[in-house]
Amino acid sequence: MKKIKLNVVGLSYSETHSGAYALILEEENGQRRIPIIIGSFEAQAIAIQLEKLKPPRPLTHDLFVTFASAFNIDLIEVNIYKLEEGVFYSNLIFQHNDEQIIIDSRTSDAIALALRFDCPIYTTPTIIDHAGINLNFEDEEEKNEDDATEINKEKETRKNPYAKYTIEELEKMMQAAIENEEYEKASAIRDELNRRKKDF
């Protein structure tokens, strides 16, 4: 069966699901992206790994990696193999000595583990045809981009509690949040830092 490799683009707040996030995956040799709605805990687990943050105590996915390593088990591949009624189904392919083991997994957990094991993520052509969003529409949006950017900046400044802090202050606050295991707060501060970096 043909497989399409996916890369993790990042996370964003879900506008349609309160308290949830959209995990964005992109096909490696194309412009289509797949948004997957995930919970805040899973989003934090993914964000921490994307940002290479080190929590003071291991999270569940980190513990799983340590356990697997202790028993010479390696995650070699993640497959998102089915999409049914808006739900993505995934499995994990492990290698233990000469044996391959396939285990079902929630897609959010599968991605969190794939990032920690540094293994590839795949899906099927059928799934990306049905769920993929083609991003080849930049020309149309460029007309209003400047005005929209200014409006969004004003809105973000009004409602963003971290807008008034410097980058150095935000970095210290994020480190303190991680040490206190306040991962949601750390994630919000990380988002603000990323926005600042894009502006430079």
pLDDT at 192: 81
- Please list the ranges in the chain whose pLDDT falls under 50: 137-141, 143-144, 147, 151, 155, 157-158
Q: What is the pLDDT of residue 151?
A: 47
pLDDT of residue 165: 82
Q: Give long-range contacts, CB 8 A cutoff, 24+ apart: 21-25.
A: 23/107, 23/108, 23/111, 25/111, 25/121, 25/123
Helix (H, G, I), strand (E, B) or coil at 82: strand
Q: How far apart are CA 76 and CA 113, in angstroms?
A: 10
pLDDT digits (tens, 9 = 90+) for 51-84: 888 888 888 999 999 999 999 999 999 999 999 9
Yes or no: say if 3 and 93 are a contact pair by the CB < 8 Å rule: no
pTM over 0.75: no
Angle at 123 between CA 72 and CA 3, to 5 degrees: 90
Element (H, E) at 6: strand 4-13
**Mean confidence (pLDDT) of the chain:** 84
